[in-house]
Structure 1
Amino acid sequence: MSDIDNRVVMYYQTHYRNGAFVSPLPMIGYVTHVLLAAFHLNMGNVGPDIVHLNDYMPSADYFAPMWPELAQVQGNGTKVMGMLGGAAGGTYDCLTDELFDTYYPPLRDVILDYNLDGMDLDVEQWVSPAVIERIITTMKSDFGDEFIITLAPVATALTEGGNLSGFNYIDLEAKLGHLISFYNAQFYSGFGSFFPEDQYVKIVEYEQGIDPGRITATVLTNSANGYGYISTDSVVASIKNLMTKYGTQWGGVGGWEYFNSLPDSSQPWQWAVTMKEAMAVQKAKMLKAAKEKESREEENRKEKVNSRMFRL
């Protein structure tokens, strides 16, 4: 397996703070994936009004400053995805077999209209395996192999523990893992912690295992965002330990959410900067150690050659 670009994923749900637009532009260069949250499907609505981004239709004036900036973010190499679902229930009730042809097409149109690179399926309600499988296979069929499909289970669900989704993620991975780019596992809210990193390792080693390159550890960026916050220093410590164990063959970290990220909520992109730098520093140490080892081995080889020549 070749090296992967360790991800820094950021959820972008709060788009205004104290009346001021929260620009995604400062994330350029530091975040690999921006996950625009949260898209919902509304039972009983019709046409374009079926799909809302938080409280508004995506075309609302409320989002007018956001879409061109997200296009600029994409233009600088960051993937911009949608997040479907989340804590507000009901979205996936609209995607059962009998309702799929009514409620899926408007979602497909939004993905096309706003040039989204993928969709993060955050299922926090009971959903049957057949429903989630149909969503995944239909999106891949509609948008092609380059379209990124991720899921956002609570961390315990990846070892068949606590699970908010109804379906079994281990079974889904065995059946459709080849269509799922990676998992944004939620290591908070009582379903796990990223510090220490033992739970991450248990997920990798559980049963058939999920490749560490496909597991992003999502953490809270501020204690105000939920239960189970760990400091940026703790996240950095686990990054160091996991890169010592897996090298660059692990998935990276994600943050919920952008607008108030610590260590400085007035400059929320600093969280992503810290994460990217932590991985870069560790990678540099690994490369230095590898070069030093290679140099020692070369010196040993030369000494052996010289020793044989001297005996001759």
Structure 2
Amino acid sequence: MVNLAVANRVVMYYQTQYHNGQYVSVLPLIGYVTHLLLAAFHLNMGHTGLDIVHLNDNIPSSSFFDPMWPEIAQLQGNGTKVIGMLGGAAPGTYDCLVDSLFDTYYPPLRDVIAAYKLDGLDLDVEQSVSSATITRFIQQLKADFGEDFIITLAPVASALTEGGNLSGFDYIDLEQNMGAHIAWYNAQFYSGFGSFFPDDQYISIIDYEQGIDPARVTAIVLTNPANGGGYVSPDSVVTSIHNLMEKYGTAWGGVGGWEYFNSLPDSSQPWEWAVTMKDAMQVQTEKMVAAARGKELAAREAEAAAEPRIPSRIFGKPSSSSRDA
């Protein structure tokens, strides 16, 4: 029986804050995305002070981001969780978090997370890193920000079945040892490491030996073929959404897009990608709820029909003779 507990999410990565000289507002995403992943934070080896932590090419307090931070707060005020993405394709960030350098480079990152009230951190590890380094980092984040702080990881999809992997550590081992502290995985289904259409690879991850809950695997796809290799059209993503919801109900991890600013089907209105994904999940949820109610009604009617009927007994008035007696 499908599960109707709701876990599916719509995630959007937001790295390009300006396009063609114009600021790209995230306010149209309100009500459509559950999580905005703000990309990409980096730690800079050899830098000091505020210059240790960059958001793309600037320190987070740069005037470059003046239009963005109030909008981030507005999203959070409307229920969207905002998670910082740390790392990505640019190497070096996680070299700063080895034991010998941890006390130098972690505190500035901790201070940025606190200053901008981020709801969590997405660890996009695309360099060789030891499991010990990642484990210590996760434990320290939880110690500093509490159990409600959202920690996600962004492996390439194949890494979740111990195939191609950019991170250097085994995600299956990490899941076994630290899974209780990891909210979910933003698995990258593109660039030759996976495809979300058809949905076979997603299912193979769920069925792999670690038995990961589908609520903890979000499928990240490209929103535009210009963003990398392995683009899947919105219509194909919707098809996989419907198929997976028929299999797992609403208790699965949902989908996410890399990245926001040029999302199709209409890059001039990039929020439409998120609207399409939310609508697809909503339509399927309504169908499932209606089907469940129909089955429940049919079961009640069948139960009522099966109940034995007790014949009624009609008692007449006693005769006068019997009364006199």
TM-score range, shorter chain: over 0.9
> How far did 1:249 drift?
1.2
Equivalent runs, 1:96-245 vs 2, <5 Å:
96-245=98-247
1: CA distance between counterparts of 2:173 and 2:226?
A: 34
Give the residue type in structure 1 aligned to 2:164. G
2: CA distance between counterparts of 1:164 and 1:209?
A: 22
Structure 2 residue aligned with 1:247, among 245, 249, 258?
A: 249
**TM-score, normalising length from structure 1?**
0.98
Q: Secondary structure at the match of 1:183?
A: strand
2: CA distance between counterparts of 1:295 and 1:106?
A: 58
What corresponds to 2:93 in structure 1? Answer: 91
Q: Secondary structure at the match of 2:310?
A: helix
Deviations 1:112-136 (Å, cap 9, x if unpaired)?
Answer: 0000000000000000010000110
**TM-score, normalising length from structure 2?**
0.94
What corresponds to 1:38 in structure 2? Answer: 40
> How far did 1:6 drift?
1.3
> How far did 1:290 drift?
0.5
Q: Secondary structure at the match of 1:202?
A: helix
Q: Secondary structure at the match of 2:211?
A: coil
Q: Secondary structure at the match of 2:83?
A: strand
Q: Secondary structure at the match of 1:291?
A: helix
Q: Secondary structure at the match of 2:100?
A: coil
2: CA distance between counterparts of 1:294 and 1:121?
A: 43
1: CA distance between counterparts of 2:312 and 2:65?
A: 79
Q: Secondary structure at the match of 2:59?
A: coil
1: CA distance between counterparts of 2:71 and 2:93?
A: 27
Structure 1 residue aligned with 2:51, among 49, 52, 55?
A: 49
1: CA distance between counterparts of 2:312 and 2:241?
A: 50
1: CA distance between counterparts of 2:158 and 2:311?
A: 63
Deviations 1:49-106 (Å, cap 9, x if unpaired)?
Answer: 1000000000000000000010000000000010000000000000000000000000
2: CA distance between counterparts of 1:247 and 1:194?
A: 17
2: CA distance between counterparts of 1:302 and 1:97?
A: 68
Structure 2: gaps (5+ residues): 314-325
1: CA distance between counterparts of 2:292 and 2:9?
A: 23
8 Å CA contact 2:4, 2:249 repeated in 1: no
Give the residue type in structure 2 aligned to 1:3. A
Give the residue type in structure 2 aligned to 1:237. T
2: CA distance between counterparts of 1:278 and 1:309?
A: 50
Deviations 1:191-237 (Å, cap 9, x if unpaired)?
Answer: 00000001000000100211000000000000000000000000000
2: CA distance between counterparts of 1:159 and 1:95?
A: 26
8 Å CA contact 2:4, 2:250 repeated in 1: no
> How far did 1:190 drift?
0.1
Give the residue type in structure 2 aligned to 1:242. L
Number of residue equivalences? 311
2: CA distance between counterparts of 1:249 and 1:36?
A: 25
Q: Secondary structure at the match of 2:90?
A: coil
> How far did 1:4 drift?
2.5
1: CA distance between counterparts of 2:175 and 2:7?
A: 22
Give the residue type in structure 2 aligned to 1:222. N
Deviations 1:21-76 (Å, cap 9, x if unpaired)?
Answer: 00010000000000000000000000111000000000000000000010000000
2: CA distance between counterparts of 1:137 and 1:264?
A: 41
Q: Secondary structure at the match of 1:163?
A: coil
Give the residue type in structure 1 aligned to 2:157. A
Larger radius of gyration: 2
Structure 1: gaps (5+ residues): none
Give the residue type in structure 2 aligned to 1:128. S
What corresponds to 1:309 in structure 2? Answer: 310
What corresponds to 1:264 in structure 2? Answer: 266
Give the residue type in structure 2 aligned to 1:184. N
Runs of 4+ in 1 over 2 A off after TM superposition: 307-312
8 Å CA contact 2:7, 2:215 repeated in 1: no
Deviations 1:229-284 (Å, cap 9, x if unpaired)?
Answer: 00000000000000000001101001000000001100000000000000000000
RMSD: 1.3
What corresponds to 1:19 in structure 2? Answer: 21
What corresponds to 1:79 in structure 2? Answer: 81
8 Å CA contact 2:129, 2:169 repeated in 1: yes
